[in-house]
């Protein structure tokens, strides 16, 4: 997989000023944690939900955030909930 580098927004990653390589699973996991915890709705809409689902079991998230995403994917599997703007790319 070719490197996919992004420059994160300061309100998401404020503790360093470097690009993040989303093709690196460790960097991607940490970035997704930051976005789900500190991101705005527009930031979350930019995420690949397939990756969110893949990394979710290993993410260190606040309990409420984890439950929200676990419930979302549980409902998604049942095809009950597919909010506009939160579909996989």
Q: Binning pLDDT at 50, 70 and 90, where does residue 77 land?
A: confident
Question: How many other C-beta atoms are found inside a 10 Å radius of the C-beta of residue 11?
Answer: 11
> Quick one: pLDDT at residue 7?
78
Query: What's the pLDDT tens digit per position in 23-40?
Result: 999 999 999 999 999 999
Entry pTM: 0.76
Strands 5-6 and 20-21: antiparallel
Per-residue pLDDT at 10 exceeds 90: no
- Would you put residue 82 in left (φ > 0), alpha (ψ -120 to 50) or beta? beta
CA 34 to each of CA 6, 7, 14: distance values in angstroms, whole numbers, following the listed order: 14, 13, 10
Poorest-confidence range of 5-9, 13-17, 53-57, 62-66? 13-17
> Can you tell me whether residue 45 is helix, strand or coil?
helix
Dist. CA 62–CA 48, nearest whole Å: 20
């Amino acid at each position: 997989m070719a490197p996919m580098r992004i420059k994160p927004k300061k309100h998401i990653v404020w503790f360093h000023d470097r690009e993040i390589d989303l093709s690196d699973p460790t960097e991607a996991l940490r970035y997704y944690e930051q976005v789900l915890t500190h991101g705005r709705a527009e930031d979350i809409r930019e995420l690949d939900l397939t990756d969110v689902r893949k990394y979710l079991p290993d993410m260190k998230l606040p309990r409420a955030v984890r439950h929200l995403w676990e419930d979302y994917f549980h409902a998604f599997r049942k095809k009950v909930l597919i909010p506009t703007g939160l579909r996989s790319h």
